[in-house]
């Protein structure tokens, strides 16, 4: 199972955009919104809840990333951060595809607001990685690149 997490987000528009990308590239994924606050919690979550429900998708809302991990029990957790915020290597989508094909669950965690994922959340990861660029390209761009690369490789595996 693929689990896609938007962590530490306060913008309703960012929550909605994040879910649009996820539904477009990985509609089968469990979407988790953790540590939402402000408009992200008050208007963003109700809006995406309706959209996900209508699409037949799955949504989980948690107070913390730790709660999301405890509830979903993923085999692997990848936290996405730019190099200056703690990533140690480039994301390898082949690892995720192999895990998914082996029946494992993989959680991809993206930080919503600057400075991204707090260090305490990064410590919960198996790997802290960057994708697309070592620089900060934003959660939605990182999400789109990661999901596209996973989807492309999964499609090739089916052929």
| Token pair 């089968």 in the structure block, residue | 28
Domain region containing 50: 2-158
User: What whole-number distance in Å separates Cα of residue 29 and Cα of residue 114?
Assistant: 25
Q: How many domains does the chain have?
A: 1
CATH number, domain of 85, equals 3.40.1280.10
- The answer to whether residues 154 and 97 touch, using CB atoms and an 8 Å cutoff, is yes
What does the pLDDT look like over 137-146, one tens digit per residue? 889 999 999 9
What does the pLDDT look like over 75-112, one tens digit per residue? 999 999 988 888 889 999 999 999 999 999 999 999 87
Enumerate the H helices of the chain as residue ranges: 12-25, 38-39, 45-55, 65-72, 93-101, 119-122, 139-158
């Amino acid at each position: 199972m693929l689990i896609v997490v938007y962590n530490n987000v306060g913008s309703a528009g960012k929550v909605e955009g994040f879910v649009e990308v996820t539904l477009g590239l990985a509609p089968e994924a469990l979407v988790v919104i953790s540590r939402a606050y402000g408009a992200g919690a008050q208007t963003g979550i109700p809006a995406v809840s309706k959209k996900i429900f209508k699409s037949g998708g799955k949504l989980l809302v948690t107070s913390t990333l730790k709660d999301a991990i405890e509830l979903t029990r993923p085999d692997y957790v990848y936290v996405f951060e730019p190099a200056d915020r703690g990533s140690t290597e480039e994301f390898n989508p082949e690892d995720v595809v192999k895990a998914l094909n082996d029946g494992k669950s993989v959680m991809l965690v993206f930080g919503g607001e600057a400075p991204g994922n707090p260090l305490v959340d990064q410590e919960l990861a198996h790997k802290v990685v960057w994708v697309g660029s070592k620089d900060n390209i934003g959660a939605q761009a990182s999400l789109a690149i990661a999901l596209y690369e996973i989807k492309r490789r999964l499609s090739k595996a089916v052929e």
